[in-house]
Amino acid sequence: MVDLTRRFDVLVIGGGNAALCAAISARRAGAAVLVLEGAPKFYRGGNTRHTRNMRCAHDAATEILTGPYTEEEFWQDLLLVTGGQTDEELARFMIHESKDILNWIVEQGVRWQPSLGGTLSLGRTNSFFLGGGRAMLNALYRTAEQLGVDILYDAEVIDLKIDDGMFLSAALKQPVGGRTEVRASTLVAAAGGFEANIEWLKEHWGEAADNFLIRGTPYNRGSILKMLLAKGVQEIGDPTQCHAVAIDARAPKFDGGIITRHDSVVFGVVVNKLAQRFYDEGEDIWPKRYAIWGRLVAAQPDQIAYIIFDSTVVTSFMPTLFPPIAGSTIGELAGKLELDPVALETTIADFNAAVRPGTFDHTILDDCRTEGLTPPKTHWARRIETPPYLAYPVRPGITFTYLGTRVNRQARMLMKDGKPSANMFAAGEIMAGNVLGKGYAAGIGMTIGSVFGRVAGQEAAKNARN
Amino acid sequence: MHGTRILQEADRLMTVCNSCRYCEGLCAVFPAMEMRRAFSDGDLNYLANLCHACGACYTDCQFSPPHEFNVDVPKTLATARAESYATYAWPHAFAGAFARNGLVISLVAALSVAAFIFGFAAINDRDVLYGIHTGPGAFYRLMPHNAMALLFGAAFLYAIVALVMSVRAFWRDIGEPVGMTTDAKALFQAIRDAGELRYLDGGGVGCFNEDDQPTDRRKLYHHLTFYGFVLCFAATCVGTLYHYLFAREAPYAWWDLPVVLGTLGGIGLLIGPIGLLIEKWKRDPVLVDEQRMGMDTAFIVMLFLTSITGLALLLWRETASMGPLLALHLGVVFALFITMPYGKFVHGIYRFVALVRYARERQMMGE
């Protein structure tokens, strides 16, 4: 049993990568640490459950990385994906620290594996967790427990007492035991974003948000973020934005994770419920344009769309969780999708007529394109003419949100007046907006979590001692 | 559609896993799965026998129960694996032995021991049965060597034929042409993988058994059991060679090769099975095909009994207990031999064959 009457040195709210890195580093620095994870034990770890890799800079190839990835190259990649919406000082600090994280995280029990099969394109830049994100979490939890970090599950924080930027205590609500006031010298907030909070999403997306599917657990509700912002912490990041990809419409409302995604867009056409195309499916190579489709589908009526392709391309992409819906004619397929058969037949016929001959190569921006079609398909355009005709229904799948708390290099929260908080730190998705104003690059969320988690833990422990 | 409910479930899981692939670094099952987009009955039986039940993919899976995707690969493949033993059993009329395997093995063992005891008593006078026999040929005063060799040779031969026929059916079903002798490289790789239990290690940290801590010691106990068994078998072979090539008759002195091999092997066969049983009882039911506990336990106990009766015979072979102990030991060994094709013993054969197939597939994929 955890003694909640004592005063802890460091209170960590959250239970993912950032939270555990903070807890471990604070404990290693000698602090008494309590972790409050709002989810039940099985669902612990927030979005970390569904991650697979981390992007770290390194100057030379390693056993698991195929070549060097310099700090400068990482910085250029970050600039590219964020369009410059990043805090350069924090970003460069994170990139520099990421080099050491590559080894530090292994010392915490996490194991790497060489990139295999479907992930070779990331083999130089990203390090993969052996067994995936939950295996990584399990290792961090084991280490934290062995070090003597106290951990509570189903531990929902319903209020924070903060006085002029100084954390005093947290009100904890547990299924058994009711409400308890938890006191600690410092706070590390690592409780993620608000992607599972449909009401909050609706504030920016309106009723459309009802049709969003959430890729992570239902516990990422952003309640800690909301409390902090309400109590004077400076916000950062676009509150209206979230990372959204197109995922299978048959996926569960929450926690479908990685396996509901579709990477088949470039091999066919995408139509909305009126059986009309609405965007250039061949704009850029996967995974570069992977993330735009969630938002594109979100803008369509009823937030649903259908990837239509034919039997010649079925083996061009990874096998899918849900089988494609099939029809021996376009009309029959339309019937099964409850689309207007005539409209779909017209759309496909128009598309087929516009396809120009070319040499298909899905690894480059090839010369297979349409002519005289609006919107065009600028690469990989091939006629859809070999039955059976196939379709995946897709909806927006929300991965994470960008709104967060402003921090400095110590991961210390900054208050609205620009002053650093006396004893409050933040790490992970809750402060990712400092580095990642928009866009995404594979594995960067985990880098933010581990780097700022470790810093937050060290600084919080130091703060608690003084 | 698949032939059985469990293969249907295995197909569902492999479809889930194939769209995730986070576990591909843990063992051989997932890379083998990735070489396929659809799964026949034979494919699934192959994957099931490739699985070493280390449990890592369950602990690491974000979709394991209570998640609604309900992904439990170790348990599902364990059940499919056990059912595959019955599927390929030869002659097929004996496939039912797998359904109530604990009962079948117990009955056969009891009957076999009883037959030897009554047989010894029927053939031998009371003072021979309870007499003290020493020197070369002591055992054969109770049962003539030729009779012993004939009986055990026939039992062993039958087991071999039945196993070969079963494996042949399995080999064909998992998509390999008959006649694998040409591929020495794959065979050698499989011998290494099986010999060191490469995939019984939880992807490197060790296996999972009673909880999400990789504290399992089944690999050690399995090594003791398997190499103990190999040493005992080697002891028997050396003894046979001694008898026919050098006309040296058992029992042999304590320092002689058959006794040294048998004793060392016997010790492994005592500690190994006890350890395996303890680990088995501790194992989280969520990872286990509980219906097959009887089969697993029966095999482990038979190995243990083989060893303990053999060691007892060694210790008391110069006393009046030798006759009854010999009957007991021979009864257990005979039962072990004739039930080999119809019990847990086959797991080693099928898994080895699956490893050969996997090594060949890796070669074909150019690795």
Shortest alpha-carbon distance between residue B20 and chain A (Å): 5
Question: Cβ of A315 and B63 within 8 Å?
Answer: no
Facing residue for A321 by CB, picked from B19, B61, B67: B19
With a pLDDT cut of 70, the percent of chain A lying above it is: 98
Chain A residue at shortest CA distance from B13: A321
Confirm if A310 and A390 have CB atoms less than 8 A apart.
Answer: yes
Chain B residue at shortest CA distance from A45: B62
Non-local CB neighbours of A425 within 8 Å, separated by 6+ positions: A22, A186, A187, A188, A189, A407, A410, A411, A412, A413, A456, A459, A460
| Helices B73-87, B5-18: crossing angle, 10 deg rounding | 140
Q: Give me the pLDDT at residue B3, please.
A: 85
pTM for the full model?
A: 0.94
Q: Is the peptide bond before B251 cis (omega within 30 degrees of 0)?
A: yes
Shortest alpha-carbon distance between residue B16 and chain A (Å): 5
Chain A residue at shortest CA distance from B35: A117
Contact residues, chain A, for B205 at CB < 8 Å: 111
What SS3 string covers chain B? Answer: CCCCHHHHHHHHHHHHHHCCCCCCCCCCHHHHHHCCCCCCHHHHHHHHHHCCCCCHHHHHCCCCCCCCCCCCHHHHHHHHHHHHHHHCCCCHHHHHHHCCHHHHHHHHHHHHHHHHHHHHHHHCCHHHHCCCCCCCCCHHHCCCHHHHHHHHHHHHHHHHHHHHHHHHHHHHHCCCCCCCCCCHHHHHHHHHHHHCCCCCCHHHCCCCCCCCCCCCCHHHHHHHHHHHHHHHHHHHHHHHHHHHHCCCCCCCCCCCHHHHHHHHHHHHHHHHHHHHHHHHHHCCHHHCCHHHHHHHHHHHHHHHHHHHHHHHHHHCCCCCCHHHHHHHHHHHHHHHHHHHHHCCCHHHHHHHHHHHHHHHHHHHCCC
Task: Select the residue from B30, B34, B62 to test the A interface by mutation, using most A Cβ atoms within 10 A.
Answer: B62
| pLDDT tens across the length of chain B (367 residues) | 888 999 999 999 999 999 999 999 999 999 999 999 999 999 999 999 999 999 999 999 999 999 999 999 999 999 999 999 999 999 999 999 999 999 999 999 999 999 999 999 999 988 888 999 988 889 999 999 999 999 999 999 999 999 999 999 999 999 876 555 568 888 999 999 999 999 999 888 888 888 888 888 899 999 999 999 999 999 999 999 999 999 998 899 999 999 999 999 999 999 999 999 999 999 999 999 988 899 999 999 999 999 999 999 999 999 999 999 999 999 999 999 999 999 999 999 999 999 999 999 888 877 5
Shortest alpha-carbon distance between residue A116 and chain B (Å): 8
The phi and psi torsions of A394 (rounded to 5 degrees) equal -130, 150
| Whether residue A119 has pLDDT greater than 70 | no
Facing residue for A319 by CB, picked from B15, B31, B66: B15
Shortest alpha-carbon distance between residue B60 and chain A (Å): 5
Overall average pLDDT of the A131-145 stretch:
97
Facing residue for B204 by CB, picked from A130, A132, A138: A130
Q: Is A63 on the interface with B (CB under 8 A)?
A: no
Interface A–B counts its CB contacts (< 8 A) at 81
Task: Select the residue from B12, B19, B73 to test the A interface by mutation, using most A Cβ atoms within 10 A.
Answer: B19
Confirm if A129 and A446 have CB atoms less than 8 A apart.
Answer: no
Question: Cβ of B22 and A318 within 8 Å?
Answer: no
Q: Give me the pLDDT at residue B179, please.
A: 56
Contact residues, chain A, for B16 at CB < 8 Å: 259, 321
What gap in Å lies between CA A101 and CA A188, rounded to an integer? 19
Question: Cβ of B57 and A257 within 8 Å?
Answer: no
Contact residues, chain A, for B62 at CB < 8 Å: 49-50, 132-134, 255, 257
Facing residue for B20 by CB, picked from A111, A116, A259: A259
Contact residues, chain B, for A320 at CB < 8 Å: 19
Contact residues, chain B, for A138 at CB < 8 Å: 59-60, 212
Between the CA of residue B255 and those of A30, A199, B65, what are the distances in Å?
Answer: 59, 81, 55
Question: Cβ of A130 and B66 within 8 Å?
Answer: no
Confirm if A316 and A333 have CB atoms less than 8 A apart.
Answer: no
Chain A residue at shortest CA distance from B11: A321
Chain B residue at shortest CA distance from A318: B19
Question: Cβ of B25 and A117 within 8 Å?
Answer: no
Question: Cβ of A135 and B59 within 8 Å?
Answer: yes
Contact residues, chain B, for A128 at CB < 8 Å: 25
Question: Cβ of B23 and A131 within 8 Å?
Answer: yes
> What value, to the nearest 5°, has the Cα angle with vertex B360 and ends B357 and B366?
145
Q: Which residues of chain A from 32 to 61 reach within 8 Å of chain B, CB to CB?
A: 42, 49-50, 52
Facing residue for A131 by CB, picked from B37, B56, B66: B56
What gap in Å lies between CA B39 and CA A393, rounded to an integer? 24
Question: Cβ of B60 and A252 within 8 Å?
Answer: no
Confirm if A303 and A208 have CB atoms less than 8 A apart.
Answer: yes
Question: Cβ of A319 and B19 within 8 Å?
Answer: yes
What SS3 string covers A113-169? Answer: ECCCHHHHHHCCCEEEECCCHHHHHHHHHHHHHHHCCEEECCCEEEEEEEECCEEEE
Facing residue for B62 by CB, picked from A50, A128, A320: A50
Q: Is A64 on the interface with B (CB under 8 A)?
A: no
> Which helix (H) or strand (E) element contains residue A292?
helix A292-298
Chain A residue at shortest CA distance from B212: A138
Shortest alpha-carbon distance between residue B66 and chain A (Å): 8
According to DSSP, the residues that pair with A33 across neighbouring strands are: A10
Contact residues, chain B, for A319 at CB < 8 Å: 15, 18-19, 37
Q: Which residues of chain B from 63 to 102 reach within 8 Å of chain A, CB to CB?
A: 63, 66-69
Tens-digit pLDDT profile for residues A279-304: 999 998 766 667 789 999 999 999 99
Contact residues, chain A, for B67 at CB < 8 Å: 42, 255
- What ipTM was reported for this prediction? 0.94
Q: Give me the pLDDT at residue B135, please.
A: 87
Contact residues, chain B, for A257 at CB < 8 Å: 20, 62-63
Question: Cβ of B61 and A134 within 8 Å?
Answer: yes
According to DSSP, the residues that pair with A426 across neighbouring strands are: A189
What gap in Å lies between CA A105 and CA A9, rounded to an integer? 23
For residue A258, give the nearest of A132, A127, A370, A439 by alpha carbon: A132
Shortest alpha-carbon distance between residue A387 and chain B (Å): 19
Tens-digit pLDDT profile for residues A190-225: 999 999 999 999 999 999 999 999 999 999 999 999
Contact residues, chain A, for B23 at CB < 8 Å: 131-132
According to DSSP, the residues that pair with A7 across neighbouring strands are: A183
Facing residue for A315 by CB, picked from B37, B205, B213: B37
Q: Is B205 on the interface with A (CB under 8 A)?
A: yes
What gap in Å lies between CA B176 and CA B358, rounded to an integer? 11
**Domains parsed from chain A with CATH numbers:** 7-238+402-465 (3.50.50.60), 244-397 (3.90.700.10)
Contact residues, chain B, for A50 at CB < 8 Å: 62
Q: Is A457 on the interface with B (CB under 8 A)?
A: no
Shortest alpha-carbon distance between residue B49 and chain A (Å): 21
Chain B residue at shortest CA distance from A319: B19
Tens-digit pLDDT profile for residues A164-197: 999 999 999 998 888 999 999 999 999 999 999 9
For residue A379, give the nearest of A400, A404, A398, A361 by alpha carbon: A361
Tens-digit pLDDT profile for residues A48-64: 999 999 999 999 998 88
